Chains A and B, each alone.
Chain A
Amino acid sequence: MAVNAKNVKFQEEEEGFSDEEVSEDVHQELVNAVANLYPGKKRIDPAKFYEPAQNVTEFKIATDLEEQTDDKLTVVDLAGADERLSRRYTANKIRNSLKTSKKLPKPLERIEEQKIERELGYDKVKKQLNKWSSIVERNKLASQLVFPLPSTQKINEKSNTYSFLTTFKEPTELEKEMAKVLDQSAIAQKERKEEEKLSKLTIEEMIERRNMTAKMRARESYRISKAIRQNKIKSKKFHRILKKDKIKQELKDFEKLQKTDPEAALEKLEQIERARAEERISLRHRNTGKWARSKAIRAKYDTEARIQLAEQLAKSRDLTRKIKDINNSSSEDESEDENTDEENNRSKHIKNVNENGTSDNPWVSEYSQFLDGYKTFSTENTDPSSDKGTNQSVSPQKNNENKNLPFTPSLNVTDSPSKPVEDVELDIHENQSKEAKNKDRTSKENKDGSQSEDEDEQVEEAINIDESNSDDDDDDGSKSSRKNASIDEMFDKVEEVLKDHVAVSVKRIESILKNDNDKDEDKERAENGTKNFEFKKSARLHDIDAALIEVADEGISSGLNDLSALKEKLNLTENKKAKEPQIDPNKLITVKPQKLKSVLPDLDEKGDDSQEEEEEEKEKHLNLMEAFAEDDIVDQFREEKKVEEKKSKGKEIDLTMPGWGSWAGTGVEKKSKRKTRRFIVKFPKVPRKDKKKPNVIINEDPVPKLREQLVSELPYPFTSVKDFEASIRAPIGKNWVTEKGFKKLTAPPVVTKMGTIIEPMDGSWLVNKPKKRMNNNKPNVNSKKKKVN
């Protein structure tokens, strides 16, 4: 107890407490005395804990003795323990170290500590959040966002090499044996040989080969898809046409074969013969079927049904006819079975259409009419030109041999629609061998041609010049094709065509005449005719050739010989045309020439440009003439502009005061010169913006209503007006951009999948840190090292 008290005292002294406090002993005594006052109650002493010393050290046991010695052992006292070092030296050293070292700071208060902890924690979180910034930035800039985000993990799973490798298994014995047997088989050896061949090729050749095969494959796939698409088409008409085309093609092939490979042709002939026999055996097209019977019932009253039945029979006749007939189809034959033999020739088909006057497709009929007219026109149009020798681009060889040759291209052109160009192409050598023969023929042709010339010489002028221009173009085009065409054939065809054409036209004329007679009974026929002609022309631009025929037919009773009347008619029309308002060529607007793609093949585009240009210009003028036949737009425009100019001119300000310096009132003369000079303020002359542009009127007054519709401030993302205007100017609609561009320009900025949950972003989107990569690469590095070793 005493020891404790002493200790306490000592501590107090050290800390600087020097208060006069009641000592422990005294206090105890007092407590005991108080306790004795109440002897009845035994107070339990509080539990006491006795410690031998308050300052417990681990180096020694505290003894009472030491405590009592009052002076404390210091570090310096320990210096003498080691006797090797001088006491003084060590004492100094220790003192120095005590001076330099600092006390550890007091531990921070809880609040401050937490603050620092929070700060650190926040910094850590910030760093971790920073890794998302690149993704966020990218999404912000992306032109299109697709949700839900495609998960990257799935892709990784698939591309895992280990899982891929585990799919392989070692082959069994049986499999190995099988492989051996297969390896020795003939097919395998053949393949090997091919491979060897391939291996000999250079890389370039290989690539070429590969490209070729790829192309072939692609073409095949296109063909297949096309076939599938076509098969799906339900239209019977379409299939019928397809079939006809196929037959036609086969016939053409056969003709070719005849010339090139007679043996194969024979085989083919046999095939055809066989087909014919089959047709003969079968009851097809014999009007025995259900359809035919039903038609037969109706045939009594229905003329159409009758016709259909007849057609069917004709078809069967056609199919069962000997093949020779088809091959040697001359013009006579054709003219004979015009109605029945539709499939053989499209030109004929067209003719039929013309004759019937009706067709499913109005366009086709018009087209055919146009062609007919064109044929006639081109036949004479080219001939004189050859006489003049203007066509310089004709190949010299042929020019020498045959002066009339320029005639041929046009013929060729007439044929072209009826026959694909490929078929017309024949060997030049052949042509040359046949040329001797041709000469005779061409002379004949010439006669025919001249005849047609007589027919249509004036027609030429009456024809719209627009047409003539296009004809000229086509002439150029046909020059090239001429090289390949066999003249012989062409003449044949021309003959046919011309004959057909004439016959057809005559028939038409007849019918029209009849109608006219019925209606108007010789009432100013000529006038009527011209009117008719005019109406047609205005209604249909490309009907001109047909109209021409009509005109030619006026007043003709019948037959081929009554062409003189036609000429008369034409003269009439010419006169009429002269009376029509003409546009002054100087007043025309100059328009940049635009080339139109014509239906007829335009093969020689490189021909003399100057001539073409001239023609084009001519065409332009005439087009305009046509388009604005009634009104003179150029003059109109000028007047309009003048009015506009007047309007825009500022008005003079009249400051004159009547009666000032002169007499005022009624009957007083005009203002004096001096007054007009001094008091009438003239509006300053401001040059108009369109002063130097004769073809434009520029409105200089701002329209307030329009102003309201326009953007007044530059919208946000744009920095210059020019950029903004450009962005507005570029259209995005389907009408102005391609399908692909349209899709790209109208791609929605956010795409979501319907009925799909969009998960929040996950860590798989973060870019892997380089650390991870290092780990992945480590084994590789090791293996490399091993190899080196």
Chain B
Amino acid sequence: MKVKVLTRNPDDYLRETKRDIHKVPRNFDPDHHPFEGAREYVRALNAVKLEKIYAKPFVGSLDGHSEGISAIAKHPKSLSVVASGSHDGEVRFWDLPTRKCFRNIQAHDDSVKGIAYTKLGERFITIGDKTIKIWNSKVPEYGETDMPQFSIVSKALLTGLTYSPRYEKFATCGEKCQLWEEERNEPITTFTWGVDTVHYIAFNPIETYLIGACADDRSITFYDTRDSGPIRKLVLALRTNQISWNPMEAFHYTVANEDYNLYTFDMRRMSSAVKVHKGHISAVISVDYSPTGLEFVSGSYDRTLRIFPADKMNSREVYHTKRMQRISNVSWSLDNKYILSTSDEMNIRLWKARASEKLGVLPPRERASLAYNEALKKKYQAFPEVRKIAHFRHVPKYIYSASQQIRMMRTKEKRKESNRRQHSKPGTVPFVSEARKHIVKEE
């Protein structure tokens, strides 16, 4: 069959100058587009493949510490500045665009347990070896010695630090939780509940009077700094390592637990978790929410980072490199673009929050086409081929095998439980949902 080609007037489809808008003559009559579905499907497939091709999340590493890194702090007003403290008591400041250290202080004799910037980032607080030190953020001139502006010797052990920019106070934890003001030598208030050491503490970023603290007795304790002091305690089956509040949802928080899981709770109803996040194959050490409150990143003892959507059970991304050791801290940058992770092998690593995202300013057409790709991926996400490609991640062998093993263990437990249920008197083996299973008590 001969195909007859129509010729068109070039004036109809060519723009006269480069600055003119594009003429796109189109007939949107669906009768003229019999293969629109098929074409879009192919585009979706291509989009999802391209995403995989461009997925290069590792940006760079910040090298300089001579001990494992114990603490990290974001600057509240500058995206390019990050402070990190190591186990040898050194605090380093990094310029992220150049990935260079521009200042280092021997802040403590022992390991730096916590760093926090003040409200506008003009000062920073470090804790370690039972002292609290407040420093000026400005780099000292040549010849000046780097001395803290202010230092407080605490009577109690210090293990964690948190600063609330809205409340303009900071809290430390250790044997007991203490609330401090910058100007005072003594804590404003001291909270205790039980005798166990509290190892992590975090202010609620929205309702600033609320503090969440993780103690060694497997509990998560909440304090109201206004008058009532301790208000609630939640005990999980295993120890909670860190807690992170959702910066957009005042009552949601996520905890990193020793039992390889993360739990998102609603502060108002803590009898069951809102979501149990699974995927890690070892204890989860650290967790940090993205500033949008839609996702969080977790770092684990299994040498991987995982990014979870706050409302999903499974992670959407696993980051790992060959030489990255056990993660000690993770931090999501305040522009929602990058993730920082510190690990035992003295490096800070900078990752992209979205692995295949193109950095820098995008021209509008490119932006539109990327948005189209995203929309297509979302539209066709249920299709097996698309899903297969989108969900595929290459992980190191030890992670793969361990996760298989864990899966096997879990299915075994499930099977065993169901067996027990079947062979015992009805009602004696109750159904306990996964969200409630790990909660020991709430008081």
Contacts and interface: CB of A to CB of B under 8 A. Distances in A.
Interface of A: 114-115, 117-118, 120-122, 124-126, 128-130, 132-133, 136, 139, 145, 147, 229, 232-235, 238, 361-363, 366, 538, 541, 626-631, 633, 708-712, 715, 724, 727-729, 731-739, 742-743, 745-748, 750, 752, 754-762
Interface string B35-51: 01101100100000000
A363 to B, nearest CB: 5
Which are the 7 A-B pairs with shortest beta-carbon distances? A121-B228, A758-B291, A715-B382, A760-B247, A760-B205, A121-B231, A746-B375
Given A232-B19, A709-B383, A742-B372, A755 B335 contact: yes
Contacts of B336: 147, 752, 758
Interface in B331-384: 334-337, 361, 368, 371-372, 374-376, 379-384
Nearest to A758: B291
Given A124-B228, A746-B372, A727 B334 contact: no
Interface of B: 1-2, 4, 6-11, 16-17, 19-20, 24, 26, 28, 30, 33, 36-37, 39-40, 43, 76-77, 79, 166, 205-207, 210, 222, 224, 227-232, 247-252, 267-268, 291-294, 334-337, 361, 368, 371-372, 374-376, 379-385, 443
A229 B228 CA distance: 69
B267 A125 contact: yes
Contacts of B292: 145, 147, 750, 752, 758
- Which residue of A136, A733, A736, A745 has the most chain B CB atoms within 10 A of its CB atom? A736
A121 B224 contact: yes
B19 A750 contact: no
B37 A729 contact: yes
Given A712-B384, A746-B375, A760 B206 contact: yes
A433 to B, nearest CB: 41
A727 B375 CA distance: 12
A122 B232 contact: yes
Contacts of A745: 375
Given A132-B206, A728-B37, A732-B375, A757 B383 contact: no
A735 to B, nearest CB: 7
Contacts of A754: 335, 337, 361
Nearest to B385: A709
A727 B379 contact: yes
A363 B9 contact: yes
Given A233-B16, A729-B37, A733-B36, A757 B372 contact: no
Contacts, number: 180
Given A739-B24, A757-B334, A760-B291, 9 more contacts: A125-B267, A139-B248, A145-B294, A233-B17, A363-B10, A709-B384, A746-B374, A748-B371, A762-B206
A10 to B, nearest CB: 45
B22 to A, nearest CB: 10
A358 to B, nearest CB: 16
Contacts of A739: 24
A538 B2 contact: yes
A324 to B, nearest CB: 36
Contacts of A132: 206, 249-251
Nearest to B166: A762
Contact of A732 (B28, B252, B379, B382): B379
A468 B224 CA distance: 90
24 contacts: A117-B228, A118-B231, A121-B224, A122-B232, A125-B224, A129-B251, A133-B251, A139-B249, A362-B7, A366-B7, A630-B1, A709-B383, A724-B382, A727-B379, A731-B33, A731-B37, A732-B372, A733-B39, A743-B368, A752-B335, A752-B337, A754-B361, A757-B335, A762-B166
B231 A122 contact: yes
B250 A736 contact: no
A731 B36 contact: yes
A482 to B, nearest CB: 28
A711 B207 contact: no
Contacts of B77: 757
Interface of B is mostly: loop
- Which residue of B1, B249, B252 has the most chain A CB atoms within 10 A of its CB atom? B249
A115 B231 CA distance: 9
A745 B250 CA distance: 31
- Which residue of A120, A128, A710, A746 has the most chain B CB atoms within 10 A of its CB atom? A746
Nearest to B373: A746
- Which residue of A125, A229, A232 has the most chain B CB atoms within 10 A of its CB atom? A125
B268 A732 contact: no
A130 B268 contact: yes
A232 B17 contact: yes
B249 A755 contact: no
A748 B374 contact: yes
A746 B267 contact: no
A755 B79 contact: yes
Contact of B2 (A126, A147, A363, A630): A630
B28 A711 contact: no
A213 B20 CA distance: 29
Contact of B267 (A118, A126, A628): A126
Given A728-B379, A738-B28, A752-B336, A125 B37 contact: no
B30 A736 contact: yes
Contacts of A710: 383-384
Contact of B250 (A129, A233, A709, A750): A129
Contacts of A762: 166, 206
Nearest to A724: B382
A746 B371 contact: yes
Given A128-B207, A758-B292, A238 B250 contact: no
B7 A363 contact: yes
Contacts of B381: 715
B313 to A, nearest CB: 12
Contacts of A731: 33, 36-37, 40
B248 A761 contact: yes
B285 to A, nearest CB: 23
Contacts of A366: 7
Nearest to A739: B24
Nearest to A117: B228
Contacts of B368: 742-743, 746
A756 B336 CA distance: 9
B404 to A, nearest CB: 24
A370 to B, nearest CB: 12
B18 to A, nearest CB: 10
Contacts of B251: 129, 132-133, 136
- Which residue of A633, A728, A737, A738 has the most chain B CB atoms within 10 A of its CB atom? A728
Given A129-B250, A709-B385, A750-B292, A734 B33 contact: no
Nearest to B77: A757
A746 B40 CA distance: 13
A732 B40 contact: yes
Nearest to B371: A746
A422 to B, nearest CB: 21
Contacts of A538: 2
B309 to A, nearest CB: 11
A537 to B, nearest CB: 11
A711 B228 contact: no
Given A129-B207, A232-B17, A732 B30 contact: no
A245 to B, nearest CB: 14
A756 B207 CA distance: 23
Contacts of A238: 16
A139 B232 CA distance: 27
Given A122-B232, A708-B384, A731-B36, A147 B291 contact: yes
Contact of B43 (A361, A626, A733): A733
B245 to A, nearest CB: 9
A361 B7 CA distance: 12
Contacts of A124: 224, 228
B267 A129 contact: yes
Contacts of B11: 361
A133 B258 CA distance: 30
Given A125-B224, A630-B2, A761 B206 contact: yes
